[in-house]
Amino acid sequence: MLLCRVCGESNPAQARFCMACGSPLPQPAEPSSGEIRKTVTVLFCDVVGSTPLGEQLDPESVRRVMTGFYDGMRAVLERHSGAVEKYIGDAVMGVFGLPVLHEDDALRAVRAAAEMREALSQLNEELRTSFGVELQIRIGVNTGEVVVGDAASGSPVLGDAINVAARLEQTAAPGDILLGPQTYALVRDAVTVDDGRALSLKGKAEPVTGYRLLEVSAR
């Protein structure tokens, strides 16, 4: 439906002029010629069970706890040449391969995921002392093709690779890191994982194999 900016009337999507007042209707923007396809590795890191924080702490303390979490996770991403694409609720979405592509972006993402888990342990020591609480996270990492808008338009990164990374994170148990099949194929010589298992992910017609990260090589 198209909404008339003059009278507020709702109009069919194919309409060019408002059926109530005759004013021209806004039309969907044409795809930007600056859009490109790139292969990136996406990392989703989410806090598990954050709702009880609001029952234990006052709003100012909750904000300080979550700010510490966001800052700590962002620092790890950037240390491995990743970038925070967005914060979604209690989750941090990081992307490796934008704006600079590295040959080992998948491995950088996996190393960042492992370091995030270690960084949380240190953060939890501070949180227990200051607030009497601690956080748990789960992480999903996936590699695939996305569509990237040009920088001037501010278009978001879009693609199924992002959806799969998010679903892997949601499927992971607290404290676990799940790797998608493309990511595992790129880093298999540098990681130790458990046996891959077929996962039924929301929105995917076929099962996706997920690999639980056990260890990353120090090399």
Q: What tokens does 40 get?
A: 């990136």
Mean pLDDT (whole number) for 93-114: 94
Cα atoms in the 13 Å half-sphere on the side-chain side of 129: 6
Mean pLDDT (whole number) for 165-179: 96
Residue boundaries of the structural domains of the chain: 1-29, 36-216
In 49-99, which ranges are E strands?
83-88, 91-96
DSSP 179: E
Beta carbons within 8 Å of 55's beta carbon, 6+ residues apart:
none
Give me the pLDDT at residue 4, please. 60
Q: What tokens does 142 get?
A: 């996936």
Cα distance between residue 82 and residue 74, in whole Å: 9
Q: Which fold has domain 36-216?
A: Alpha-Beta Plaits (3.30.70)
Residues β-bridged to residue 94: 43, 84
Cα distance between residue 170 and residue 139, in whole Å: 8
On the question of pLDDT at 2 being above 60, the answer is: no
* Stronger pLDDT, 123 or 148, i.e. the higher one: 123
pLDDT (tens digit per residue) in 8-52: 566 666 676 767 767 676 655 444 556 788 999 999 999 998 777
Mean pLDDT (whole number) for 131-153: 86
Give me the pLDDT at residue 31, please. 46
Sign of the C-alpha dihedral, residues 164, 166, 170, 174?
A: positive
Of 189, 146, 186, 149, residue with least CA distance to 165? 146
Residue 79 in contact with residue 71, Cβ under 8 Å? no
Give me the pLDDT at residue 29, please. 46
Give CA torsion, residues 139, 160, 199, 140, to 10 deg. Answer: -10
Give me the pLDDT at residue 17, please. 72
Residue 65 pLDDT level (bands cut at 50, 70, 90) = very high
Residue 9 in contact with residue 23, Cβ under 8 Å? no
Mean pLDDT (whole number) for 115-123: 95
Mean pLDDT (whole number) for 165-193: 96
Beta carbons within 8 Å of 74's beta carbon, 6+ residues apart:
84, 92
- Amino acid letter, residue 140: G
* Stronger pLDDT, 82 or 19, i.e. the higher one: 82
On the question of pLDDT at 141 being above 60, the answer is: yes
Mean pLDDT (whole number) for 42-65: 90
On the question of pLDDT at 186 being above 90, the answer is: yes
- Tell me which H or E stretch contains 15: none
Give me the pLDDT at residue 26, please. 63
Residue 204 pLDDT level (bands cut at 50, 70, 90) = confident
Cα distance between residue 12 and residue 23, in whole Å: 14
On the question of pLDDT at 112 being above 90, the answer is: yes
- Tell me which H or E stretch contains 125: helix 105-130
